[in-house]
Amino acid sequence: MTRAECGRRRYLARYQIRAVLVDRGLSMAELARRIGVTAEAVSATVRGKRHSPRVLSALRELGVPEKYLHSPHPIPKEAA
């Protein structure tokens, strides 16, 4: 995969993640408040710029598919 393709996937994934949040009635700021991190940490993780374990875990618990989470350390299959 080229850098451009990777960037495009990250760009599109953020909208999929936001759709899950909207379906759950949450904003990124509300999610941040609930899990005790800054809104910037949630936003950067959703954009794929940061990889906050707390944010990634919360997104997984909300049902965001792993393919949209740009984590360098995916959740182990036995823990899924």
| Nearest-angstrom CA–CA distance, 29 and 55 | 12
Measure Cα distances from 15 to 9, 44, 46, 62 in Å. 10, 13, 9, 15
| Domain ranges across the chain | 3-79
CATH, domain range 3-79: 1.10.260
Reported confidence tier of residue 77, pLDDT bands at 50, 70, 90:
low
Mean pLDDT to the nearest integer, 10-34: 95
Q: How far apart are the first and last CA of the chain?
A: 26
The pLDDT of residue 63 is above 60:
yes
Reported confidence tier of residue 7, pLDDT bands at 50, 70, 90:
confident
Tokens representing 25 are 């009635």
Reported confidence tier of residue 21, pLDDT bands at 50, 70, 90:
very high
DSSP state of 54: H
